[in-house]
Amino acid sequence: MKARVHVTLKNGVLDPQGKAIGHALHGMGFAQVGEVRQGKFIELDLAETDKAKAKAQVEEMCKKLLANTVIENYAIELV
Amino acid sequence: MTTAVIVFPGSNRDRDMCLALERATGQKPLRIWHQDTALPKADLLVLPGGFSYGDYLRCGAMAAHSPIMREVKAAAARGVPVLAVCNGFQIATEAGLLPGALITNSGLKFICRNVSLRVETSNSRFTRGYNAGQVVSYPVAHNDGNYVVNADTLKRLEDQDRVAFRYSDDAGVVTPETNLNGSTANIAGVLNEARNVLGMMPHPENATDPQLGRPDGGPLFAAMLEAMA
């Protein structure tokens, strides 16, 4: 089973890189773009075959290492 | 008097820190590899600057889980002083030794220059050699020094007099213009609640040799030494 983890900065935490990307897009003529937020995508190969157990394991990984919950949110998708 | 500097893969200010400590104490600090699982008895632990684990994932995130950090956290809980500078500050926040987090500088640039800092409190073993309000000059060298805390934590830091340094101008005036990296409330250094852990982005160890500019970091090392004696 694979787990796909998206890590994003929490609302309200300044995202200087997202801002720079937004400015660049506007400069290129993509005027329709509003706020841009940049995050991380992490894909994990898991030996676990039970979905509930896999979810719990990845949750723990997110809390302990993959995300810093002081400033970041995470979302887990199992495929 | 024993001081110990923790060395992670990618640390690069550990030698500068050792020189500053040796200059202050007259004794060579111990250098402790991050994979060690036991700490020698030490009067001061230092998490030095650098780029542990290449700043992969988040600055300090992997180093915070190094085997030795379990011992560093236990020692800090017992009251052993810990000085955490630059990448060390990032490691300390990731390890939960200090509140908040450090994210990319608001200007997206690596900043490497001398900066003015206003000392906010002399009530700590690290800053008692300064007067509150005094302006010191230390170098900074970081890409991720933007200190983020939420409003509740900021209020607690302010109420408990735990902000140690703020980015200011030469006269000690703190404004948004003197906030070089976007840090909440211009914070450059903070103390933990027990006041035995100091985390800071600027490098006091690089402001101790008169041949390299104003040795404004000297009083910080002298104060730590005095508190240990």
Question: Which CATH number fits the domain that encloses residue B71?
Answer: 3.40.50.880
Residues A40-54 pLDDT 10s? 999 999 999 999 999
Contact A32, A49 (CB under 8 A): no
Distance CA B76, CA A64 (A): 20
Annotation marks residue B59 as catalytic: no
Task: Give the residue carrying structure tokens 């509003």.
Answer: A34
Distance CA A60, CA B227 (A): 40
Q: What is the CATH number of the domain that holds A18?
A: 3.30.1280.10
Amino acid at B28: K
Q: What are the chain A neighbours of B62 within 8 Å (beta carbons)?
A: 65
The per-residue pLDDT of chain B, averaged, comes to 97
Amino acid at B79: G
- Residues A70, B106: C-beta atoms closer than 8 Å: no
**Confidence check: pLDDT of B201 > 80:** yes
Residues B137-185 pLDDT 10s? 999 999 999 999 999 999 999 999 999 999 999 999 999 999 999 999 9
Domain count, chain B: 1
Distance CA B49, CA B203 (A): 8
Range of the domain at A55: 2-78
Tell me which residues of chain B, numbers 138 to 177, contact chain A at a CB-CB cutoff of 8 Å. 146, 148
Contact A1, A79 (CB under 8 A): yes
Backbone angles phi, psi at A45, to 5 degrees: -90, 130
Q: pTM score, two decimals?
A: 0.95
Residues A2-37 pLDDT 10s? 999 999 999 989 898 999 999 999 999 999 999 999
Domain count, chain A: 1
Range of the domain at B97: 3-228
Q: What value of ipTM does the predicted structure carry?
A: 0.87
- Residues A14, B93: C-beta atoms closer than 8 Å: no
- Residues B101, A71: C-beta atoms closer than 8 Å: yes
- Quick one: pLDDT at residue B77? 98
Contacts of A19 (CB under 8 A, 6+ apart): A36
Q: Among the options B18, B34, B59, B86, which is catalytic? A: B86
Q: CA B91, A12, B112, B191 torsion: positive or negative?
A: negative
Q: How far is B100 from chain A (nearest CA, A)?
A: 7
